[in-house]
Amino acid sequence: MLINPCDCVARRDVLCGGGAAAFSAIVTALVGTARPVRAEPISGSVPEVDRLAVRVLVDSYQFAVAPSRKLSNVDIDHFGWGIGAGRPPGKTLVSEFGLSMHVESRRGTETRRVLIDFGFTPDSIINNFALLGGDPAALDALVLSHGHYDHFGGLAGFLQASKGQLKPKLPIFVGGEEAFCARTWTAPPARGDFGALDRKALEDANLTVTYAEGPALVADHGFTTGQIRQASFERLLSPSAMTIGVEHGMGCYADRFPEDLRTQSVVPDQFRHEIATAFNLKGRGLVVVTSCSHRGVVNAIKQAQAASGISKVHAVIGGFHLAPYPPDYVKQTVAAFKDIDVDYVIPLHCSGEPFYEMAKAEIPAKLLRSYTGTRFVFGEGAGT
Ligand SMILES: [Fe+2]
């Protein structure tokens, strides 16, 4: 039996990741390669990268004729049509309510590529990944931010389409066993089945499922924050419920949960397993990739700061999950971005138009617009 994740699930404390180091090594040895392993915790300072390119692979919409541009310290490359010299028009980017991002980092002569989240449908990620020049064989790690279908729905199909091309034992980072629970969407507009992560598809693709409840290194260059502590004004809404248990090989194992949850069958989602991903960009600060921010975008930033010991934040990019909140709450988030003095704020996916409008009015120089296919390049050689 896999030992229950340490008390950090209940404590929601960043210290747990580091404290789990020896424990992690033991668990890894015990469970073998076919079972989940524990991520390598951060020991000492986080790595520094020279350059970072974040490509939005899948998001809600695209504006094909948006001009690319350079600002101070950042290049913004929008993707146009799927056309090119010498070939007829064919495929174009597919947009949907799902999120996927590709991050390429450079450190000296070393390059690493990480895919974070996988969209709602296989069609979008497979199509966009190929059209934008992605190479499955070049991926060094996968990260699933949380167990919602709009983030993992495309994964099984992407793995199937990439069969035989991915690196053997390619790690996929998740924030814990909770990521595997079957979920029901319980918020408006409609209640219904919200899917479950296909454990067998991960096994068939020869991935190494890697639990990162605490801060952990990703592909030598980046790090996941570990589970996100609630340390700000932000309030968690629970738009889904998770079923604890396994049926026909799908779902999550109750014995891997803390005791208070083991005996329950259906519980409102608290997103204890949600993780953000971050990079330490030389001379600039952190670039935080938030994915969906169910536990709060400010909390995600604070967790990245705590995990790395770095307070300067160069950019925050991802879903900020502000759509369901009232204007006062959105205003507090904008104020927090000012307070933290984030250089660039790039809202995607579930951030919502009210946030965009308010940020445009209050922090116009920080706010960057993104579409499906947009690439943001930070660091060495980027910007004017
Ligand atoms: Fe989402």
Q: List, for residues 183-208, the tens digit of each pLDDT value.
A: 999 999 999 999 999 999 999 999 99
Residue (of 279, 165, 166) closest to 220 by Cα position: 279
Ligand 1 centroid from CA 228, angstroms: 16
Give tens-digit pLDDT for 27-58.
Answer: 443 443 358 999 989 988 999 999 999 999 99
Q: How far is the CA of 21 from the centre of ligand 1 (A)?
A: 30
Of the two residues 166 and 88, the one the predictor is more confident about is: 166
CA 268 to ligand 1 centroid distance, Å: 16
* CA of residue 103 to ligand 1 center, whole Å: 18
Tokens matching residue 145:
């931010």
The average confidence (pLDDT) of the chain is: 91
The answer to whether the beta carbons of residues 173 and 212 sit under 8 Å apart is yes
Give the distance (Å) from ligand 1 centre to CA of residue 291. 7
* pLDDT for residue 34: 56
- Distance from C-alpha of 102 to C-alpha of 116, rounded to nearest angstrom: 6
Residue type, 270: Q
On whether the CB atoms of residues 35 and 364 are closer than 8 A, the answer is: no
**pLDDT (average), residues 230-243:** 96
Report how far apart the first and last C-alpha atoms of the chain are (Å, whole number).
55
Whether the per-residue pLDDT at 212 is higher than 80: the answer is yes
Mean pLDDT for 132-150 is: 98
C-alpha 114 – ligand 1 centre gap (Å)? 19
Give, as one character, the DSSP assignment of residue 5.
Answer: P
Query: How many Å lie between the centroid of ligand 1 and the Cα of residue 117?
Result: 10
Check if the beta carbon of residue 215 is closer than 8 Å to that of residue 17: yes
Residue 353 has pLDDT above 60, yes or no: yes
Q: CA–CA separation, 258 vs 17, rounded Å? A: 16
Least confident of 14-28, 280-294, 345-359: 14-28
Q: What letter does residue 95 receive in the DSSP assignment?
A: -
Least confident of 145-159, 205-219, 244-258: 244-258
Predicted confidence at residue 102, as pLDDT, reads 98
Tell how far the Cα of 241 is from the centroid of ligand 1, in angstroms.
14
pLDDT band at 18 (very low <50, low <70, confident <90, very high): very low
Cis peptide, bond prior to residue 47, ω within 30 of zero: no
Give kind and range of the element (H or E) at residue 332. helix 327-340
- Name residue 263's amino acid: T
Q: What residue type is 329 in one-letter code?
A: Y
For ligand 1, an ion, list residues with CB under 5 A.
150, 292, 350
Q: Ligand 1 centroid vs 109 CA: distance in angstroms?
A: 34
User: How far apart are the CA of 307 and the centre of ligand 1, in A?
Assistant: 23
3-state SS class at 352: coil
In angstroms, rounded to a whole number, what is the distance separating the alpha carbons of residues 81 and 92?
6
Residue 8 scores a pLDDT above 60: no
Can you state the angle between helices 327-340 and 297-308, rounded to 10 degrees? 20
Given this model, what pLDDT does residue 10 score?
A: 30
pLDDT(19) > 60 = no
pLDDT reading at 20 higher than 50:
no
Q: How far is the CA of 292 from the centre of ligand 1 (A)?
A: 5
Tell me the two tokens of residue 192.
């219904």
User: Could you tell me how many helices (H) and strands (E) the chain has, helices first?
Assistant: 11, 22
Report yes or no on whether pTM surpasses 0.75. Answer: yes
Residue that is written with structure tokens 């248990």 in the block: 245
pLDDT (average), residues 12-40: 49
Percentage of the chain beyond pLDDT 90 is 84
Counting beta carbons within 10 angstroms of the beta carbon of residue 169, is it exposed (0 to 12), middle (13 to 18) or buried (19 or more)?
exposed
6-12 average pLDDT score:
32
